[in-house]
Every structure is written in structure tokens, then in C-alpha cells.
Structure 1
């Protein structure tokens, strides 16, 4: 009888080890804890609209008296300061209108934690301080502007065609994996 128990113990221990390793692998994939120590810095230049093509029949060669046409600088139409939610987050958010009429959300001097599946969301939710603001951004209207390019630096996120920025009042650095805001900014008209 003692040999039978000893012989059955080995497969049970092996089974527990295999299940434990599988669970550890899933946990590592899901939480990606190594990202807490990995910073990704992205420094993008201020966005510019593409220059308009010259009118038909217009002079296209250099003119001795005319300076080359430069696209107009973007106009800041709204701005806000990021506050911390799930993770310490700081920086400035600007809603820019380019000379071609398109809009871009610009994050400047962003500093937040890295994490799995972070997104930049334009939302209609009010920005609330503390834990009360962690989960409000997916309750109403929101537009995902794409994956967060880096957890530090200055970055540009163009609004898709057809999105009216007047329909939104805030920006969130949103963790889609855990449905929580890392930080957010209320957009105030300038």
C-alpha cells in the first residue's frame, strides 16, 4: 500500500507543477510587471498641416521677392493639466487645430508609469480626483486615439476624420486591459 501512494504522489506533484507554471505564465502575460521598470520616451515635434498645393496657373518657381510659404503654426483651442489616478501622472494636454482644419491631441512633458495596453482617449467624462475618477471614462462617449506611444515625453495623436472635438471635454491615459485611468486632464477652452 505504501508503494502505491508513493507512486501516485509523483504524478500529482508533477501535475501541480505544470498547472502552477501555466498560471504563472498567464499571470506574467496579463500583468506584464516588467513594464513598471521600463520607460519609453517619445519626443515628437509639434505637428504641422501639410502645405496647400499652389493654385493652377500660379507661379511655381522661386520668386526673388517672395519668401517660401510655410504652413501656419497650430492653434491651441483647449488645454489641461494631467492629474494622477491609478498611477502618478503629470504633463500637459493640448487640443490643437492645424491650418488644414484637422485636430491633434498633444501630450507635452508626459510622465506616467508604463503598463499593458495603454491608450489615449478623448472623452466626455468629467475629471474627478482620486479613486472616484479611476473608472468613469468608459461610462460615456469616448474616442480612442490609439496606443500610448511612450510613457514619457511629448507626443501627437491625430483625431480621426469625422470626430468633432467639441463633443469631448477630457483626455485620459487609459489602461484597456484593466479598465482604469492612469491619469486624465480636463480640457478648458483657451
Structure 2
């Protein structure tokens, strides 16, 4: 508290300069902190994706399986020798399918696993509708869809980043994957470790 003798005494110019410099440095430091925090927030949350959609429409891959003909080596009218492999078109075979249920984000559509004529396997998402998000991926899980909401299992297989939050898409299943042991398909956000939605896979009979 200023005494009576100090009241009305002018402030030292040097003191004013020091206070001004400290205030300016504090302001600049706070501004830099806010910019860094805002940048990190934008990187993590990518809020603009709440207002955008990415539509991907792919046809189911088709492949031809080689068919070997037995018999003597002679050419037919098409110029192909008997005993040589010829390419015969074979329809893909549905293995399992199921419908998506919502977890953290509204999700709908159908998931089905398909064996192609050449023996390759794909996961196909049809009429998919979910949200965009940061680092969203597609997984095969050994857990049921409801259980996958709590987290991915250790045996889950990643099929790649979600190509789009809308549409019809194909994801190659790695060679050697034992599809019957996987019970669901999960759309999983790696950034925040949450499931957007999942679909139980039930074997297709017939």
C-alpha cells in the first residue's frame, strides 16, 4: 500500500517499459499455446468430417477359374489344345452375410464374405451408411457384433482403411485367412478406439 508521500508520484518510465514487455511476452506465449492446442485438436478430431461424406461404389470383382481338359493333344475349332488350361467363367460364392448394427455412430448396410472363382476371398459392404472419422478401418473379428462394441479381439484381422462412409465396397481378405472362425465385421476408429458399427456374419446355406 502506498504511503501518503507516494501518492501522486509518477511511475518510473523504465518500470512502464518492463511491465509492457512482460505483458507482451505473456500474450505471445499464450497465443502460441492456443495455436498449438487448436492444431492438435484439429488433427485428432478432424471436426469437418462431421459435415462431409465419401461415396464409393465398386462392383464385385469377377475372375475366371482355369479348367483343365483331359484327352489327346488336339486342337479344337477355337485353336485350343485339349489338355491345355482354358478360362471358364464361374460365379462368386457367398460364404456368410449379416446386417450392420449401430455402436458409436449410426451405421447400416450389409456385409458379406465372398469366394471368387480364382479362390480369392473378399469382404463386400453393400448399401453402407455410417459416419466419416479420423483413421477409420475395417476389421474381421472373432467376437460377435455386440461384444465388438467393447473392443477388438487379439485375433482381429485388419482389411484396410474404410474407403468411404457411403456406398458399396470390396476389401481383399488376406490369403490363408480362415473365414469361418470370424463372427463379425467391425468398422473401427483407430484414433479413439471405438466401434462405429458391426455386423454379425451368419453362414450362407445352399
TM-score normalised per structure 2? 0.80
Give me the CA root mean square deviation. Answer: 2.3
How much has 1:47 moved relative to structure 2?
Answer: 1.8
Q: Does 1:32 pair with 2:46?
A: yes
Q: How does 1:19-168 map to 2 (within 5 A)?
A: 19-52=33-66, 59=75, 62=78, 70-128=88-146, 133-136=148-151, 138-168=152-182
Whole-angstrom distance in 2 between the partners of 1:58 and 1:5: 101
Query: Which has the bigger relative contact order, CA under 8 A and spacing at least 6?
Result: 1
- 2:67–2:87 contact (8 Å) kept in structure 1: no
The answer for the alignment partner of 1:8 in structure 2 is: 22
Shift of 1:48: 1.5
Q: Find the residue that maps to 2:89 and give its secondary structure.
A: coil
- Rounded Cα–Cα distance in structure 2 between residues aligned with 1:149 and 1:175: 13
Which stretches of structure 1, 4 residues or longer, exceed 3 Å deviation after superposition? 53-63
Separation of aligned partners in 2, 1:172 and 1:49: 27
- Of residues 45-54 and 138-147 in structure 1, the stretch that sits farther from structure 2 once superposed is 45-54
In structure 1, stretches of 5+ residues that fail to align are none
| CA distance in 2: counterparts of 1:50 and 1:107, whole angstroms | 22
Which secondary structure state, in structure 1, belongs to the residue aligned with residue 199 of structure 2? strand
Whichever of the two has the greater Rg, that structure is 2
| Cα distance change on mapping 1:59 and 1:12 into 2, 3 Å | farther
C-alpha distance in 2 between matches for 1:77 and 1:140: 23
Task: State how far apart, in whole Å, the 1-side matches of 2:111 and 2:74 are.
Answer: 39
C-alpha spacing 1:52/1:2, structure 2 compared with 1 (3 Å): same
CA deviations on 1:21-79 (whole Å, 9 max, x unpaired) are 0110111011111111121111100121244277695758748xxxx965212111110
TM-score by length of 1: 0.86
